[in-house]
Amino acid sequence: MKRKSSLGSRLVASPYILWSALFIIAPMFFVLYYSFTTPSGQFTFDNIMALGKYTGILLRSVWFGVLATLICLVLAYPFAYFISQMRLNTQQTMVALVMLPMWMNFLIRTYSWMAILQDTGIINRTLEKIGLGPVHMINTSGAVILGMVYNFMPYMILPLYSVMAKMDKSIIEAAQDLGGNRINVVRKVIIPLSMPGIASGLTMVFVPSVSTFYISQKLGGGSFDLIGDVIERQFQQSYNYNLGASLSLVLMVLILACMAFLNKFTNDEEGMVI
């Protein structure tokens, strides 16, 4: 039998409650506030109206995010599955290998692709030596998506792996026992059972992809600005906080909508998938 919430337990958690009210909830309100005011503090819809001209960029961000996420999913799924079938010791090493790049600074990781994809970079020099002409890769949309996939791949691999490793082997054996061949088992058993991992991975890749600003600048050369770039510019260059706030608001709402949609697949609310 659970006791009622005692005064003591409320007291102990109160620093956190205070902190989160001040620094998690309040900032959200400020985004709202700045979205609907002019620099002098008057209420206005101007910032929301101004969003109209950014719809193109917004759509591009979403499109890129979706592409990057799906590519990550397709590439990571078999990888996660193969790892989960390895011997336990090898699995641990593999997981460590996947996690290691995550701790490298993402600026550096993105930057290094620049060097590789440059017209004078490694790939092109090697191609020239073989005799195939130089391929222009940098400053293309492909490069930006590649950058996203590269940076966020581990965030797709880990939740997938985590779910697959915990899968009850006897369920898979039961499916085989009942006559399912390889493909059937994957389609009808493994994929449905790995849904929570997929949902988690989709979230953890889509959110940063859609909102990134550095990757698009460095690998897209300025021709493929995403919503993140626009927001960053408002705050660090044009100092138009109000427009920046309204853009951020739109981004938040967008993410929330996707979250709510994906939430149907996750049931764990007080624990981590990883």
Partner 1 sequence: MKAPSKIYTFLILLFLYAPILIMIFFSFNSSNSTGLFENFSLRWYTVLFQNKNIMQAFSNTIILAVSSSVIATIIGTAAAVGVDRWKKSWLRSGVMGVTNIPMMNPEIVTGVSMMLLFVFMGKLVGSEGVLGFGTILIAHVTFNLPYVILSVLPKLRQTDVHLAEAAQDLGCTPVKAFFKVVLPSITTGIVTGLIMSFTLSLDDFIISYFTTGPGFQTLPIAIFSMTKKRVKPDMYALSTLIFVSILVLLILVNIAQSRGDAKKNSKSVKGDA
Q: Residues 57, 143, 144, 153: which binds partner 1 (CB under 8 A)?
A: 153
Q: Which is nearer to partner 1, 29 or 170 (CB)?
A: 29
| Measured CA angle at 81 (ends 152, 208), to 5 deg | 15
Query: How many angstroms separate the CA atoms of 108 and 216, rounded?
Result: 14
Q: Which is nearer to partner 1, 169 or 178 (CB)?
A: 169
Q: Which is nearer to partner 1, 168 or 270 (CB)?
A: 270
Chain center to CA of 213: 13
Shortest separation between residue 206's beta carbon and partner 1, angstroms: 10
Query: How many angstroms separate the CA atoms of 74 and 51, rounded?
Result: 34
Size of the site for partner 1 (CB under 8 A): 87
Contact segment (CB under 8 A) with partner 1 among 113-121, 161-169, 178-186, 193-201 equals 113-121
Q: Residues 121, 134, 180, 221: which binds partner 1 (CB under 8 A)?
A: 121
Within 123-142, the residues that bind partner 1 by CB under 8 A are 124-125
Chain center to CA of 133: 35
108 is a site residue for partner 1 (CB under 8 A): yes
Q: Residues 51, 73, 167, 255: which binds partner 1 (CB under 8 A)?
A: 255
Q: Residues 137, 198, 231, 243: which binds partner 1 (CB under 8 A)?
A: 231
Instruction: Give me the 169-208 binding string for partner 1, x by CB under 8 A, dash otherwise.
Output: ----------------------------------x---xx
Nearest 5°: phi and psi at 43? -70, 135
> Could you tell me which residues come within 8 angstroms of residue 48 by beta carbon, excluding any fewer than 6 positions away?
35, 36, 246
Shortest separation between residue 230's beta carbon and partner 1, angstroms: 11
What are the contacts of 222-231 at 24+ separation with CB within 8 A?
222/139, 223/139, 224/60, 224/64, 224/141, 224/144, 225/57, 226/57, 226/60, 226/61, 226/64, 226/144, 227/54, 227/57, 227/58, 227/61, 227/251, 228/61, 230/54, 230/57
Instruction: Give me the 49-88 binding string for partner 1, x by CB under 8 A, dash otherwise.
Output: --------------------------xx-xx--xx-xx--
Q: Which is nearer to partner 1, 96 or 178 (CB)?
A: 96
**For helices 241-262 and 26-35, what crossing angle results, to 10°?**
120
